[in-house]
Structure formats: structure tokens, C-alpha cells
Structure 1
Amino acid sequence: MTRTLTVYSRTGCHLCEQLLAQLAHLDLPDDVSLVTVDVDTDPALRARFDVDVPVVALDDEILCCHFLDETALRQALNDG
């Protein structure tokens, strides 16, 4: 079963760019699909995550906001 690692971000967000660059260097498991979602394309997402981007979620579980918490990410990936 494929798990989805979602990064909620927005255009022009330097923290989002940094976090995505960090994720690009990680060796994610084969069963994990990385998806980037621009919160500004959906009013509900913008309302939910506006000041918290970037937000990283594995499936429906939010793992971190603003900065990559690699420890939390690895733990969530290993628990799945």
C-alpha cells in the first residue's frame, strides 16, 4: 500500500523551498509518494495552514510545520 507524504506549501515561500530541498536528499521508502500542495489554490487549505507552511504530513498525520523534523519523519515512516 502506497503512503503519501504531503508538503503543504506556497509559491515564494523560502522555508518551503528549503524543506523541499532537504526532502530531495532523503532516501524515502519505495512505498512513499511525495506530493506538494499549494495551499493558496484552495481556500480551506489556506485557512487551515496559512501561517504554518510548510507543513509535512504522512497520510493524514501532520509531522512538522515550518521546518523539517527529520526524526519525526523517520519515526513515522518506520512505524508505518
Structure 2
Amino acid sequence: MTEFTLYSRSYCHLCDDMLEALQSYTADHVFTVKLVDVDADDELVALYDELVPVLIGKKEGGTEQQICHYFLDHAKLKEFLS
């Protein structure tokens, strides 16, 4: 199973846009999406504050990989999913 983590914040329209764009891939791919509010953890703020939203992907048995930030990079997502 492919898992995505979307680092976001509650008042971020780019985060909402990225989640919506990512969900458009559910017709052809099976995956889960975990939403993580960076503002709930000081370490995450230090890592991702100015980059939010940040999309991290992990395939079963694989390691986490940052796919994109700010906007969904469709080319990188398709490459990751293939």
C-alpha cells in the first residue's frame, strides 16, 4: 500500500488545493493520505514552515520520499506512483 503524508496547516488554501489534486488520483491508484498539521509540533515547523504544503510518499517496504511542496507536481507524483 502506498502512503502519503501531507504536511499542512489549517488556514492554508495551497494545502487544500494539493489535497484535492492528490485525491483526483484515487480513480487509478490505491493509497492513503495522512494529514499532519505542522503547527502542532515545533520540529515540524522548523522543517517545513515556509514550504507548506509538503507531500511525502512511501511505498510498502520503502523509505519516505519528498515528492513536492507548494503545489502538486504531477510529473513527480506520476513517477513516484509508477
TM-score range, shorter chain: 0.7 to 0.9
TM-score by length of 1: 0.86
Aligned residues with identical type, % of pairs: 36
What TM-score, normalized by structure 2, do the two folds share?
Answer: 0.84
Query: Which aligned pairs between 1:11-50 and structure 2 lie closer than 5 A?
Result: 11-27=10-26, 29-30=29-30, 32-50=31-49
Quote the RMSD (CA, aligned, Å): 1.2
Q: Does 1:71 align with 2:70?
A: no
Q: How many matched pairs? A: 76
Unaligned runs of 5+ in 2: 59-63
Q: Which runs of 5+ in 1 are unaligned?
A: none
Q: Distance in 1 between matches of 2:21 and 2:32?
A: 16
Give runs of ≥4 in structure 1 deviating > 6 Å: none
